[in-house]
């Protein structure tokens, strides 16, 4: 569990490095059948920023010895999903984030909102 929490912290730093906004950590650790322990959800203001955030997350995680098992969405940069097994990272454009509303899929999940730093 500690490793997943540390990875969430590292991923959050990677998002903040590229000024990703609206960071929400969804704690799924107490939900039976959840596909991961945590979701980290954020957004970028443009496809270019979404891609830059994804690259930054990869770089920060790699420094800690972590690599995603899968990354999808880089071809359109509307919604990039990065699978670190226990942690799933979702980087959206605002319209896609609003449409999919991942933060509210599990009503009993604990949500932690990270204030924007700029």
Query: What does each of the 118 residues of the chain score in pLDDT, given as a tens digit?
Result: 569 999 999 999 999 999 999 999 999 999 988 899 999 999 999 999 999 999 999 999 999 999 999 999 999 889 999 999 999 999 999 999 999 999 988 888 999 999 997 6
In the chain, the number of structural domains is: 1
Q: For residue 112, what are the contacts with CB-CB under 8 A and spacing of at least 6? A: 24, 25, 27
CA–CA gap between residue 70 and residue 50 (Å, rounded)? 16
Residue range(s) defining the domain that contains residue 78: 2-114
């Amino acid at each position: 569990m500690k490793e997943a929490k540390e990875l969430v912290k590292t991923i959050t730093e990677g998002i903040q490095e590229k000024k990703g906004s609206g960071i929400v950590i969804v704690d799924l650790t107490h939900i039976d059948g959840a596909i991961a322990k945590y979701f980290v959800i954020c957004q970028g203001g443009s496809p270019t920023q979404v891609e830059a955030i994804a690259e930054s997350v990869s770089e920060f995680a790699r420094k800690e010895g972590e690599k995603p098992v899968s990354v999808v969405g880089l071809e359109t940069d509307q919604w990039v999903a990065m699978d670190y097994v226990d942690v799933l990272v979702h980087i959206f454009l605002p319209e896609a984030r609003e449409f999919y509303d991942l933060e509210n899929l599990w009503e009993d999940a604990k949500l932690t909102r990270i204030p924007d730093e700029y």
